[in-house]
Structure 1
Amino acid sequence: MRNKSARFLILPLALSCTVLLGGVNAQEVAKADHMVEQWLSLERQNSSLESDWQAQQPLLLQRISLLEIEKKQLQAMLSEKSTDTSEVEQKRFKLIEEQSSLESKQEQLAQGVKVLLGQLSGLERLLPTPLQQNWQQESANLSTDVGATPQLAERLQVALAQLTKLAEFDQRISVLQQTLLNQQGEQILVKQLYLGAGLAWFVSLDGTYAGSGQVTENGWVWQFDDSLDSSEISRAIAIFEKQAEPDFVQLPLKLATGGSR
Structure 2
Amino acid sequence: MRSLIKPISMVIALCCAMTVQADTVSELEQLINKWLQIENQNNKLNTHWLEQKSSMEQTLTLLDAEQQQLSELNQRRKKSTSELTQKREQLVTKQSELENDQQQLNEQLTRISQQLLSLQVQLPPPLLSSWKNTGDLTNSQLNTTDKLQTALKMLGLLRDFQQRISIHEMAILHPDGQEVWVKQLYLGAAQAWFVSEDLSYVGIGFPSDLGWQWEFDPSINAEQVALGIAVQQKKRAADWVTLPILSYAKNTQKGAK
**2:238 partner SS:** coil
Looking at structure 2, the residues matched to 102 and 260 of structure 1 have their Cα atoms a distance apart, in angstroms, of: 43
Shift of 1:89: 5.1
Identity of counterpart residues, as a percentage? Answer: 37
Looking at structure 2, the residues matched to 178 and 78 of structure 1 have their Cα atoms a distance apart, in angstroms, of: 79
In the superposition, the TM-score normalised over structure 1's length comes to 0.63
**2:128 partner SS:** helix
Q: Does 1:120 align with 2:119?
A: no
Looking at structure 1, the residues matched to 141 and 75 of structure 2 have their Cα atoms a distance apart, in angstroms, of: 44
The size of the alignment, in residue pairs, is 181
Looking at structure 1, the residues matched to 236 and 223 of structure 2 have their Cα atoms a distance apart, in angstroms, of: 13
RMSD over aligned Cα, in angstroms? Answer: 2.6
Q: How does 1:91-170 map to 2 (within 5 A)?
A: 91-139=87-135, 149-170=141-162
Shift of 1:182: 1.8
**1:242 partner SS:** coil
In the superposition, the TM-score normalised over structure 2's length comes to 0.63
Task: Report Cα offsets for 1:7-59 as digits up to 9, x if no partner.
Answer: xxxxxxxxxxxxxxxxxxxxxxxxxxxxxxxxxxxxxxxxxxxxxxxxxxxxx
More helix by share: 2
Gaps of 5+ in 2: 1-72
Q: How does 1:1-261 map to 2 (within 5 A)?
A: 80-83=76-79, 90-139=86-135, 149-253=141-245, 254=247, 255=249, 256-257=252-253, 259-260=255-256
1:82–1:229 CA distance, 2 compared to 1 (3 A): same
> Higher relative contact order by CA 8 Å / sep ≥ 6: 1 or 2?
2
Task: Report Cα offsets for 1:43-87 as digits up to 9, x if no partner.
Answer: xxxxxxxxxxxxxxxxxxxxxxxxxxxxxxxxxx97614539877
Task: Report Cα offsets for 1:116-141 as digits up to 9, x if no partner.
Answer: 1121111111101111110110116x
1:79–1:206 CA distance, 2 compared to 1 (3 A): farther
Shift of 1:163: 0.7
Query: Could you tell me which residue of structure 2 aligns to residue 49 of structure 1?
Result: none
